[in-house]
């Protein structure tokens, strides 16, 4: 029986991106069947190739971020390099780029030119501040987007400066919005008979869109959400606690019925039956007392016993997972969240699994991030270039 076609099979995506936001967006497309051609500079390619932990000179992150993609090297400052890109885009469905606004326009590859070349093209533009506004020409990495979008301000403890999350979350959130926007634009194109359009994603706006009730709380009450460490005022109890063996556990018992079961499970029927604690507002008013109770209880037991009691009482809880914890966890394994792959020299290694899970047309990882220019001959042959022409382009510095 033949495997079902992936949901994005038949779509051609061209990526003009480096590092995180653009490449992550195109990676998602590639995992679900799109033909993704990643354009890289012949002079070293995407800097991500050299980020974080390297294996024989190449980033392990690269092998994941560029999986299922084809690498084509183009010198976009060279006339022939630009012509090759135009030929690709003339038949592409989506262009994903994360240059600073104005860079493509200076190369003669702005939206007006590309839209005239291919009216059906959807152009996803990921940048620090978007394609308009007074900040548009400023450089803006994910850390800047997280800062301006509100995330950094509320992250950390109240008596210390703001802290970052442990990953480049702003870039990744922007990538998700970019893919959502692209799929919306494709829906409009295919179902409503529309043309291609620009999907303009600013990193700070991508983060800002996740800030829950921050805007109305300030506008209506003048309330500014501050850093509160591991607790969230107004939602009690929900925090991280430490067991007697020094392990950390997240406990979320802020539902009314859940809280009652939790208190009964730890032998505090007095709190379970206290009418003042029957709803969230009452619990939040006494949160210091409650967190003291939970801290003392969790701190008297080893982590596994804490989790056993909480699971038995149906109280949402989890150890704070490290990568080591994940590798042996039955839920991760049952959901195939570690894929087996091989590095270029044949060494086996694990990659993160595919998200989301589609029941009929699941995504997959077919190959790891390619060598620089690995697909030059294949892609250029598909555009009609002969072996001799490819050799001439390389000799002339166009590829």
- Whether 345 is catalytic is no
The token duo for 132 is: 């308009």
Cα 338 from chain centroid?
A: 17
DSSP 346-365: S-EEEEE--SSPPSSS----
Rg (CA), the chain: 25
Q: Using alpha carbons, select from 161, 155, 165, 97 the residue that is nearest to residue 127.
A: 97
Which of 46, 93, 171, 200 is labelled catalytic? 171
Strand 58-59, strand 12-16: pairing: unpaired
| Cβ neighbours of residue 129 closer than 8 Å, sequence gap 6 or more | 101, 135, 136, 138, 140, 202, 203, 204
Angle at 354 between CA 348 and CA 356, to 5 degrees: 170
Spatial contact of 292 and 266, defined as CB atoms under 8 Å apart: no
φ/ψ of residue 214, rounded to 5: -60, -45
Q: Which residues are known catalytic residues?
A: 171
């Amino acid at each position: 029986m033949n495997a079902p076609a992936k949901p994005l099979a038949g779509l051609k995506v061209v990526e003009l991106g480096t590092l995180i936001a653009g490449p992550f967006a195109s990676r998602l497309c590639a995992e679900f069947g799109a033909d993704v051609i990643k354009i890289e500079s012949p002079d070293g390619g995407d800097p991500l190739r050299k980020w974080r932990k390297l294996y024989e000179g190449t980033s392990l992150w690269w092998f994941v971020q560029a999986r299922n993609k084809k690498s084509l090297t183009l010198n976009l400052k060279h006339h022939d390099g630009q012509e090759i890109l135009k030929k690709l885009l003339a038949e592409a469905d989506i262009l994903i780029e994360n240059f600073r606004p104005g860079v493509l326009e200076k190369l003669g590859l702005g939206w007006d030119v590309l839209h005239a070349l291919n009216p059906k093209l959807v152009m996803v533009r990921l940048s620090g501040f978007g394609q308009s506004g007074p900040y548009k020409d400023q450089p803006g990495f994910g850390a800047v987007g997280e800062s301006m979008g509100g995330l950094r301000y509320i992250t950390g403890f109240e008596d210390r400066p703001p802290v970052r999350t442990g990953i480049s979350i702003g870039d990744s959130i922007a990538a998700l919005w970019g893919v959502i926007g692209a799929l919306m634009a494709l829906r409009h194109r295919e179902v409503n008979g529309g043309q291609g359009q620009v999907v303009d994603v600013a990193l700070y706006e991508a983060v800002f869109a996740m800030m829950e009730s921050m805007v109305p709380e300030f506008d209506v009450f003048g309330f500014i959400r501050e850093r509160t460490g591991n607790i969230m005022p107004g939602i009690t109890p929900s925090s991280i606690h430490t067991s007697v063996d020094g392990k950390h556990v997240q406990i979320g018992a802020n539902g009314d019925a859940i809280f009652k079961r939790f208190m009964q499970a730890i032998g505090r029927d007095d709190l379970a039956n206290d009418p003042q604690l029957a709803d969230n507002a009452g619990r939040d008013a006494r949160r210091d007392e409650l967190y003291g109770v939970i801290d003392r209880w969790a701190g008297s037991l080893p982590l596994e016993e804490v989790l056993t009691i909480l699971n038995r009482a149906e109280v949402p809880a989890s150890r704070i997972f490290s990568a080591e914890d994940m590798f042996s966890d039955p839920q991760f394994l049952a959901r195939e969240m570690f894929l087996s792959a091989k590095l270029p020299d044949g060494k086996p290694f694990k990659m993160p699994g595919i998200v989301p899970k589609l029941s009929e047309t699941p995504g997959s990882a077919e190959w790891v991030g390619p060598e620089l220019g690995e697909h030059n001959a294949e892609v250029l042959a598909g555009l009609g270039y002969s072996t001799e022409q490819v050799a001439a382009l390389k000799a002339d510095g166009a590829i």
